[in-house]
Amino acid sequence: MARVDIDLYEVLRVSRDASPEEIKHAYRRLVRECHPDYHPGDREKEEQFKRVAVAYEILSDPEKRRQYDTYGTVRPTGAPADIFGDFTSVSDLFDFFFGEGMGFGRRSARRRAVDPAYSEGEHLQEQIELTLADTLTEQTLTLKVRRLETCPVCGGSRLEPGTHATVCDRCGGTGIVTVTRQSLLGVFSSTSTCPACHGRGARIDHPCHECGGTGLRPKERTVEVTVPAGVTDGMVLRLRGQGHAGTGGGPEGDLLLRIRVKPHPVFAVDGANLVAELPVTYPEVLQGAEIGFEYVSGEELKVRVPPKTQPGSILTLRGKGLPHLNSRGTGDLLLRVTLDFPDRLSREEKELLSRLEGGKRERRGKGASSLRNLRKLKELS
């Protein structure tokens, strides 16, 4: 195949700022259009299918997509290169990106026949509960997780030591069955996982007595986790290879840690910013004041309320929000000024308010209007 520059976004017929959902829809549409099973012997469709598969593999992975957008390649050298030129068949393409045996035809069948116990490990999910104060700094936590590990007796083969698997009669050891159908448009062939051996290509007549033929045994492990500063509620951290074990040489799954941040009674989270209400009394609003309050971390902070600050105004404390995840800087603390009305007034407080209001009316002048000019209000707004 000639080595040429190819734009992966053009291959999937999407824009460079396409969302992951748009990329997925484009991939599914194009696969239906150019799948080799529907165009037997059509080299052009096969080449198009190869490009679509590679383009989706790269653009659907955030890290690979970032590398491609930056360097034009996903190779570690960082030098632009034709990522399609090294493949001569669809099987080569799939084996390169997904591992040997995920391609088409006999190559996949050979893997299943040689290793009938092959199975990838499943992901393990756990939840980490944090307070809002915990998210201000990096946290190192120790978790106990119960995961499936390779059986010490059969070594993950699923077989009783000294026995062997029997080749599946249904698929002949390939792990797949092919169904051919005749239609008005011609003859179509489709392959699917063998229902008799579930794709393993072999039947286990003598399962391991220790694990019951699963190849796995549960075991409790202690895992140390570093939670970065700035995590938010609902975020998921992935620890590669810390999930359930695979069998027959299959890779281990991942440990998925879902973050739950307990709601704070005072501070709310808005991205990297923290938001809270700042109750002030009428004299404080009128004359201005410096008000102290307890921050998320427990330290004492102070904020200056300027004279005649209107209720609803936002006072900003720069850098007193949450750290930006995986980047420098922090958000801000936004305090919304609210007027704090007392539940009950004493007689002296009522008399003071009456004298204050009386003085305002005398200064306003007899017959002066208490309404403000509407045009002036519009100009100010």
Amino acid residing at 39: H
Highest mean pLDDT among 142-151, 181-190, 342-351, 371-380: 142-151
pLDDT tier for residue 184 given thresholds of 50, 70 and 90: low
Of the candidates 22, 248, 21, the residue with the CA atom closest to the CA atom of residue 119: 248
Q: How far apart are CA 288 and CA 207, in angstroms?
A: 80
Show the domains of the chain with their CATH numbers.
8-87 (1.10.287.110), 124-261 (2.10.230.10), 268-380 (2.60.260.20)
Q: How far apart are CA 144 and CA 369, in angstroms?
A: 73
Checking if the pLDDT of 3 tops 70, the result is no
Q: How far apart are CA 197 and CA 176, in angstroms?
A: 9
pLDDT tier for residue 358 given thresholds of 50, 70 and 90: low
Checking if the pLDDT of 5 tops 50, the result is yes
Mean pLDDT of 73-94: 44
**Residue whose token pair is 């309050």:** 293
Mean pLDDT of 331-353: 81
Checking if the pLDDT of 316 tops 90, the result is yes
Mean pLDDT of 252-280: 93
Looking at per-residue confidence, does 239 or 110 come out higher? 239
Model pLDDT, residue 186: 60
Of the candidates 31, 57, 65, 28, the residue with the CA atom closest to the CA atom of residue 46: 31
Checking if the pLDDT of 378 tops 80, the result is no
Q: Which spans in the chain are helix H?
A: 8-12, 20-34, 43-59, 62-71, 90-98, 106-114, 282-287, 347-364, 374-380
pLDDT tier for residue 103 given thresholds of 50, 70 and 90: very low
Checking if the pLDDT of 268 tops 60, the result is yes
Model pLDDT, residue 257: 94
Q: How far apart are CA 227 and CA 255, in angstroms?
A: 13
Q: What does the mean pLDDT of the chain come to?
A: 78
Model pLDDT, residue 67: 76
- How much is the pTM? 0.55
Structure tokens given for 364:
């306003």
Model pLDDT, residue 142: 92
Mean pLDDT of 154-166: 86
Model pLDDT, residue 304: 94
Looking at per-residue confidence, does 364 or 190 come out higher? 190
Checking if the pLDDT of 84 tops 60, the result is no
Highest mean pLDDT among 61-65, 106-110, 134-138, 175-179: 134-138
Model pLDDT, residue 359: 55
Amino acid residing at 363: R
Model pLDDT, residue 109: 39
Looking at per-residue confidence, does 178 or 104 come out higher? 178
Model pLDDT, residue 141: 93
Model pLDDT, residue 313: 93
Mean pLDDT of 56-78: 71
